Structure 1
Amino acid sequence: MTTAVAPYPINLPLIASIVIAYANGEMIADAVLPRVTVSKAEFKYLVQSVADHFTVPDTRVGRKAKPNQVESNGTMETGSVFDYGLDEIVPVEDVRNAPEGVDPLALAAEFVMKLVTLDREVRVANTVFGAANHSNKLTLSGNSQWSDYTNSDPITAILTNLDTPIMRPNVAIFGRSVWTKLILHPKVIDYVNGKGGTSGGVTRQQLADALELEEILVGSAFVNTARKGQAMSLQRCWGKHAAFIYREIPAETTRSTTWGFTAQQGERISDAEFSKQLGGLEGGYQVRAGERLNELVTAPDLSFFFQNAIA
């Protein structure tokens, strides 16, 4: 059997560079759960017993005695990455009719990677805004919700509860709707600006400094939640909640103290292949992009979660 030869050259280096470099400015998943490279699909990672780092043993040593022995009781768990990817079919006819300077295969690779990245954003949002992933949490309701400008006091709520985790969170994550309500809250403006007024708003850096945080991340991405064939129903990936986590950029999976991270095996996957069985009478190109990841929460006690922060 003779292998079908592509009627047009496939620029695999270009497709690979597009897939590897692709980044959507609306996405915050990589900042929330930093990536750590693992060498194999199955890997070990440390779930730490944070209390061990704060329990002081007797360190005094007698003149002829041995020092007391300590041991970290973190649990070494086994994890594995999962494959996430999509294909798009580009008919030969589309390549032939493309405007000069336009590479339909490159556009397909970018489109596919965009959807794979959006899927990751949804997974991370569900992880960060999943109450089960936080040991310290509070559900707001009624006049305690930050959308109630008359009765609620978000500054007091945040500052008080950030003292609860054994290591104070250094990163805040808000859904876009929560962030908009928060920065226009009179008590937030008064606390940050000290003007006693209720007009205007505050910036991320201003509020981060006021709350003694390294960074504030705001999730703004939309996702269509309707089933295929139904009318589009756009919703924010990041809901009406707020999470404060202790984030450390990990160098490896077995040594870092952080609320969570993402294990990544290898670079992103990219490929394009011609087949007579695809894309109509003349065949077409199957363009594939994806990655191997696993999002993990390794220290659920290093965070504080506000569920239903606004109405």
Structure 2
Amino acid sequence: MATTSFPVNPTMTAIAMMYSNPAVTLIADHVMPRIPVAKKFSYSSYDIAQGFTVPQTLVGRKSTPTEVDFTGTLINDETQDFGLDDVVPNDEIEAWASMQKPERGGPINPLDISTMLLTKLVLLDREVRVAGKVFNAANYGGNTATLSGTSQWSDFVNSNPLDAILAALDIPLYRPNVATFGQAAFTKLRQHPAIVQAVYGTAQTRGTVTRAQLAEVLEVQQVLVGAGFVNTARKGQAVNNQRVWGKHAAFLYIDPEAAQASQPTWGFTGQWGTRVAGSLPEPKNGLRGSERARVGESVKEVISAPALGYFFQNVVA
């Protein structure tokens, strides 16, 4: 029995799920992993000093051990609903149904096409939200550096990104295990002589390295590169596609299992339920009526431990 007035179609939901990981360009689910939560959820925030201040542990023969009082702040949060609709005329659906179709391939149901495209837009919106949080100096508790001029990694003669990154990785309380770059930043970094020489162990002024090679040199688990585009022009104006992830770099300690066990992680995404997709009749739209396709999800991106990351702003010109 349906629990809402919007019926979820299993076939359309399967299509929405199928298109949930365009791994080549979108990295939001890797940078801020999804963990299951209730619609309204909470997590605890503890003073950093509590875990690093050593009290008197020596106990005298008849004395009482030092009493330690741990205090935390309970943070209440709630997932938000993100979704999109598209109205598909029944004329188009009926025309598709009446077509003779080959055994393999052939035209796709207009409702399915709509579901695919809506899913891509919902995911792109999430990518923009996550990029806005990860590439934001305010979310690092002061662990930031803004580069300019000869310190930028696009200056192959004067800059030394390897020294800068290795020094930055030593600053957070938990050493970052995920490196995140915008595409423009990574393109320059992978060609930088200091990086190329570190990977190949010889004096080279030209060359390039892979993500896996860079991860090995930096001793991080993942190197993620945001390569997606988003149209920043207003509706009706000429398309102006820009990279979702800017010319920056972030180094984060990410542990989704820790987030579920109330342990520190720079950030995570609370997700209530699964992504849904379905359709509703729209009898007033079109001569023969229409179907309203809908795709959406309930999530909340959370920065839970800002001190567990380091952010470089404007790493390339």
**Superimposed CA distance per residue, residues 165-210 of structure 1 (whole angstroms, 9 cap, x where no aligned partner):** 1111111000000000000011110112111112221111111111
* Structure 2 alignment gaps of length 5 or more: 1-6
**Superimposed CA distance per residue, residues 13-43 of structure 1 (whole angstroms, 9 cap, x where no aligned partner):** 210111233222221001000111112x221
Q: Residue 20 of structure 1 aligns with which residue?
A: 17
Whether contact under 8 Å (1:48, 1:298) holds in the other structure is no
Equivalent positions of 1:263-278 (< 5 A) are 263-278=270-285
1:130 CA drift (Å)? 0.7
Q: Residue 4 of structure 2 aligns with which residue?
A: none
Quote the Cα distance in structure 2 between the aligned partners of 1:44 and 1:57: 29
Whether contact under 8 Å (1:34, 1:250) holds in the other structure is no
Equivalent positions of 1:163-178 (< 5 A) are 163-178=170-185
Quote the Cα distance in structure 2 between the aligned partners of 1:251 and 1:189: 34
Q: Residue 217 of structure 1 aligns with which residue?
A: 224
Give the TM-score normalised by the residue count of structure 1: 0.92
Whether contact under 8 Å (1:275, 1:284) holds in the other structure is yes
Q: Residue 5 of structure 1 aligns with which residue?
A: none
Q: What is the CA RMSD across the aligned residues, in angstroms?
A: 1.7
1:52 CA drift (Å)? 2.0
Q: Residue 302 of structure 1 aligns with which residue?
A: 308
Summarize the Cα distance change of 1:93–1:119 in structure 2 as closer, same or farther, 3 Å threshold. Answer: same
Whether contact under 8 Å (2:173, 2:308) holds in the other structure is yes
Summarize the Cα distance change of 1:251–1:37 in structure 2 as closer, same or farther, 3 Å threshold. Answer: farther
Whether contact under 8 Å (2:259, 2:265) holds in the other structure is no
What SS does the aligned partner of 1:277 have?
coil
1:250 CA drift (Å)? 3.1
Quote the Cα distance in structure 2 between the aligned partners of 1:228 and 1:298: 35
1:254 CA drift (Å)? 6.2
Question: % of aligned pairs identical?
Answer: 47
Whether contact under 8 Å (1:248, 1:258) holds in the other structure is yes
What SS does the aligned partner of 2:257 have?
coil
Amino acid at match of 1:57: P
Farther off after superposition, 142-151 or 69-78: 69-78
Amino acid at match of 1:219: G
Amino acid at match of 2:9: L
Equivalent positions of 1:1-311 (< 5 A) are 12-22=9-19, 23-25=21-23, 26-39=25-38, 41-98=39-96, 100=101, 102-135=108-141, 136-250=143-257, 253=260, 255-278=262-285, 280-311=286-317
